[in-house]
Structure 1
């Protein structure tokens, strides 16, 4: 029987445990503060930011939200971030990506103070991660590690394949898996769009982390029997096309109204016939990304305020 790893349940447990850490800081006179900055009219980005602010409210983190007109000069965004860097009530800063084309993303990432960079994307924090001295682990890869831990998946000595090489997931995920520390020590291969025979690699893997952004690119035939499969992909697929292809087994009224459904980078139905454990989409990695953002914010507050806090 394949184990379906419930990301919602694990994320809820982490949020619950973080509430005690937030109260520890509040008792010491400093409630953690997370600032989100949105410079976009993209409805999905607006939804993501709203969810993150709601998460803050649930655990007692002070949420600060700043919106900047998408047509405003890039300097307005940079100045806003600098103001938040100087605000002692703000312990973590998240600039929602993507930013408009006229804004340089790398400049944005470099402008956030490293000690408030709860995404873990500042070059200083990337370097510390690679060196094995992470200040903040990027939220999605860290969330994957937590899922593996809660599912009792042994990474030490395992063959792991990460499919995707983005700075957000693929590269930091591979770095975390090879680190000489708990939830690391795996022999890790990174595959990507130029990999000649992807299946040849995934069939040898004890752990597969799919993060390429290609709908259902990995199916059960590409997996080793009993492998653990973590699906990071979130892709919108047209419902009518899937029905015409015969790949949708049940009608979902909500998806029909939206005209799309969410699928991962893994063909869940075929993969679960081979895998020993697998994450679903939705309800797998997604909730963990948000939970680990809260984790990093609480950690940042503890570091900046000089307060020891227990982290889950």
Structure 2
């Protein structure tokens, strides 16, 4: 008998990630036919962020459970990180590279993202991949054989929304979020902004929220544009957040703060709520309102990171 208090369901990222395990393990087996030791993913850790440490541990466990080699390289002096990345770029045994950010916490981090060779950039942070994302370009070549890579956390959230049936599979691919209104509370260059662009490129009306202002990402009335457009709705205010959230089908949070909580009273009955921050951005009361609640996304993100690695490896093989 269903509960009258909590009519919805909490969906764990671990259960969603399982849907990708068979696909990844089949790719591992195919690689081992050519490279018996299996693929190698290298992670660089040059900070003392406990969230990064936790992410590194998850990645290691996931890789080892699938027969993928994972090597965590700790760089105590961040000034030597660039050289370490370049060395991995040149190592033919390394198939994928990731860096646990933040390192310097400034524009230097954006530079380091570009140091990683695009052929090994499992996080999809290379400027070419970002340009394709924002311009709604899904392939690297005119023949559409080389698929572009998407940043792994935004991609994970897209896959979660597909799993939750928020995407309408009866519509043409690329328009499957048509009619959906989504609030994204985070506009970082790593997750929040690219996520808003991806969702809008798939047809949604997206309200991108940060501490300064609220922006609206859409493809225009009737999806008349091929890529998203951005409209500034003005300075952040709780009243504006309340208004847009009251109409939202999906609310996605990613505020890296233990004290931040999205106001439960702003959520409409039956909305879908997803949190990708390592901090808990929703009160427990969200379970009384949301139809579906995903409290974390980390394990799906790792699955997407591994899918990206195999896609990059396939692209390399095609271009040989």
For the superposition of Structure 1 and Structure 2, which TM-score range results when normalised by the shorter chain?
0.7 to 0.9
Deviation at 1:25, TM superposition (A): 2.2
Deviation at 1:102, TM superposition (A): 9.6
Deviation at 1:22, TM superposition (A): 1.4
The unaligned stretches of length 5 or more in structure 1 are 236-263, 308-312
Q: Which runs of 4+ in 1 moved over 4 A?
A: 41-44, 100-103
CA distance in 2, matches of 1:287, 1:88: 27
Alpha-carbon contact 2:180-2:249 (below 8 Å) kept: yes
Other-structure match for 2:251: 208
Q: TM (normalized to structure 1)?
A: 0.79
Query: RMSD value over aligned CA atoms?
Result: 2.2
Deviation at 1:33, TM superposition (A): 2.1
CA distance in 2, matches of 1:278, 1:200: 21
Paired residues, number: 268
CA distance in 2, matches of 1:296, 1:124: 15
Deviation at 1:161, TM superposition (A): 1.3
Indicate whether 1:37 and 2:44 are aligned: yes
Deviation at 1:190, TM superposition (A): 0.8
CA distance in 1, matches of 2:200, 2:285: 29
Instruction: Show CA shifts across 1:54-100 (max 9, x none).
Output: 22111122223322223x6x2x2111111111122212111112214
Deviation at 1:291, TM superposition (A): 1.6
Deviation at 1:130, TM superposition (A): 0.9
Indicate whether 1:80 and 2:96 are aligned: no
Alpha carbons of structure 1 residues 83 and 290: separation in structure 2 relative to 1, 3 Å: same
- Relative contact order, CA 8 A, sep 6+: which one is greater? 1
The partner residue of 1:63 within 40, 48, 70 is 70
CA distance in 1, matches of 2:64, 2:126: 26
Indicate whether 1:49 and 2:92 are aligned: no
Alpha carbons of structure 1 residues 265 and 42: separation in structure 2 relative to 1, 3 Å: closer
Other-structure match for 1:185: 203
Alpha carbons of structure 1 residues 44 and 205: separation in structure 2 relative to 1, 3 Å: closer
Indicate whether 1:271 and 2:286 are aligned: yes
Q: TM (normalized to structure 2)?
A: 0.77
Other-structure match for 1:238: none
The partner residue of 1:224 within 268, 274, 277 is 268
Instruction: Show CA shifts across 1:171-211 (max 9, x none).
Output: 111111012xxxx2111111111222311111111111112
The unaligned stretches of length 5 or more in structure 2 are 1-6, 139-147, 168-176, 213-235
